[in-house]
Homo-oligomer: A and B are copies of this chain.
Amino acid sequence: MQREQEFNTIDDVFNLIRDELRDAEAAYTGYLQTNVSLIPKISEHIILSGGKRLRPALLILTMRMLGGAPGSGTALAAVIEFIHTATLLHDDVVDEADMRRGLAAANAIWGNEASVLVGDFLFSTAFDLAVDQRNIAILKALSSATRRLAEGEILELMRTADVDTTETDYRKIIEGKTAVLMAAACECGALLAGDDPGRQEKMRSYGLHAGMAFQIIDDILDYTSREEALGKSIGIDLEEGKLTLPLIRVLEQAAPAERERVRDIILADFVSPEDFSQVLDLIRKYRGIEFSTARATEHVEAARELLADMPASPYRGALDFLARYIVNRDR
């Protein structure tokens, strides 16, 4: 694939669409103007606290790769980022999180009530902006992704602390809670470029694979990263009873006594450093990280393969780099 060599860091990718990402940043603030002062306060706290803007980048890169005009993706980039931010606000209520992106979580400052309602405001603002695009196919991509996103979150809640969670369950959960929105970002990018259905579907699939890989790596990092790099506590999935792929692998492979031990740790109210370290030992023993990384890599390769049918351009190179970056990042 041509010109991949131009991208050495994720910043090279962002630089390629710097102007459009900057317009999108301005749009985030602009669209949140309201005379209800708590709304910009809370939503800007979370939106402007240094998210990676991966979803807006996916949308803009896909659109430019397929010939869309510069600037025509700004509103939908905001839509996708608002939907993502709304889910973060609601997730933090669900998880009773104290930290998010290295800052105090919104619910810890303003209370669960405010996080729930400002999340709702972001959701409805997202749809309101999307409707203004007057494009039914785009609206359908977004509404159906958002519905599946909620399903994924609920499935995750139902499987909390359930040691019988299978890899299939896990895949359904992360497809809903993460991958479908990234898929929708790419699909909307393709739709904005007015491209043919075949390419729309392939780019949706690219986004889905990228999203699956992204979440698997996210779940790995919760076991392997350092807190300073991640901007949030590590080990919180275990603390919250979230069974992710490294641990599911352990539970599928472990001896009955080991399985029992993990179950006790998951069901306990508090996970001590010793508990965490025991779980890490088991993950090492059963190669849970390597297994999960291999799964993520499969998705990345599937995503990259889908790009082969796309027109060669720096944007395609950037999307190719992004897919590889997802498995190589440390936060």
Contact A116 B94, beta carbon cutoff 8 Å: yes
Contact A151 B121, beta carbon cutoff 8 Å: yes
Contact B90 A157, beta carbon cutoff 8 Å: no
Residues of A in contact (CB 8 Å), total: 41
Once bound together, how far apart are the Cα atoms of A39 and B34, in whole Å? 33
Q: Which residue of B lies closest to A34 (CB)?
A: B151
CB contacts (< 8 Å) of A93 on chain B: these are 93, 112-113, 116
User: How many copies of the polypeptide does the oligomer hold?
Assistant: 2
Contact A121 B94, beta carbon cutoff 8 Å: no
| Chain A 85-126 near chain B by CB (<8 Å), digits 1 or 0 | 001001001100000000000000000111011101101110
Q: Which residue of B lies closest to A113 (CB)?
A: B94
State whether A146 and B131 are in contact (beta carbons under 8 Å apart), knowing that A93-B113, A94-B113 are contacts in the complex: no
Once bound together, how far apart are the Cα atoms of A124 and B130, in whole Å? 13
Answer whether residue A154 sits at the interface, using C-beta atoms and an 8 A cutoff.
yes
Give A residues with C-beta under 8 Å from B. Answer: 34, 36-39, 87, 90, 93-94, 112-114, 116-118, 120-121, 123-125, 127-128, 130-132, 134, 136, 139-140, 143-144, 146-147, 149-151, 153-155, 157-158
Known A-B contacts: A117-B154, A123-B150, A131-B143. Give 10 more (CB < 8 A): A36-B151, A39-B154, A90-B117, A93-B113, A118-B150, A120-B123, A120-B150, A125-B150, A128-B144, A139-B139
